[in-house]
Amino acid sequence: MITQNAWPAPAKLNLFLHITGQLENGYHTLQTIFQFLDYGDSLNIEHNQSNEITLTSAVEGVSLQDNLIYRAAMLLKPFADKSAGARIEISKILPMGAGLGGGSSNAATTLVALNYLWDINLPLEQLATIGLELGADVPIFVQGFAAFAQGVGEELTPVSPPQPYYLVIWPGVAVSTQEIFQAPELPRNTPSLTLEQLSDATLSNDCQEITKNRHPMVASALDWLVEYAPAKMTGTGSCVFGEFESAQAAAHVLKKLPKTMHGFVAKGINTSPLAQKLAQLQQLNDQH
């Protein structure tokens, strides 16, 4: 049974992250591969005719006007009927400041869900452009396919990386993306690669050393995980991840995780759960 109310907001991993330059507006140009996880937050969205957006489980310490879910809904509202409203409840499991894209994913899910529920039917490309106002990672979650991303993260080329199981470790610290991108020691001139060059290139995360130096817990998590699998950091951190051939192999290592760290096992997927949900609903509509 597919319900219209429950909408997934999956996590993402950056399989590598190169910073290739900086624009005059302060944004950085980058190259990365985004892949989704079959793990994330979920939003329960009931649309109504109240003309109001209500959040029943707001994030602690974030005002309603600053909440990305609320902001996403308000950006879409001018396209909807005057009376369009929604009651949104979030089940939050993705930590903030973890490099998993939780806030961006929540915003994207809000845009995609309300575009459908309010019967606005904007194309995903237009929704992605609207989402870019909320953050550079929002378009990838709106589009819903694994991608080689360039520009500030909005130029997306679909790719099909392997879909292994990952052990993802959260070291228990939040990392400010802004802090890392403003760091004077951040490399800002990594040479750009073409998609064809990626398979032969040495790929890394240009933010990893800086985050490790500023957040010893991230360094500890990487040092621990590298004993079991090649360990990398996603985004600007704080989460680190390692690849495994099976869920059992990843779960076996998870059991050994030190008490100071938190972790979960998830499968890498190239079509996001949000895109899958939307496709199912549209298919049901076509049948009726």
- Active-site positions? 12, 137
Q: Please, which contacts does 73-77 make with residues 24 or more away whose CB atoms are closer than 8 Å?
A: 73/110, 73/114, 75/111, 75/130, 75/133, 75/134, 76/110, 76/111, 76/114, 76/115, 76/118, 76/120, 76/130, 77/53
> What separation in angstroms does the CA of 256 have from each of 114, 228, 249, 252?
42, 11, 12, 7
Strand 155-158 and strand 85-91: the pairing is: unpaired
Short-list 250, 232, 253, CA closest to 241: 232
Q: Report which secondary-structure segment, H or E, holds 8.
A: strand 6-22
Q: Which residue is it, tokens 């396209």?
A: 79
Q: Evaluate the omega torsion of the peptide bond into residue 42 and state whether it is cis, within 30 degrees of 0.
A: no
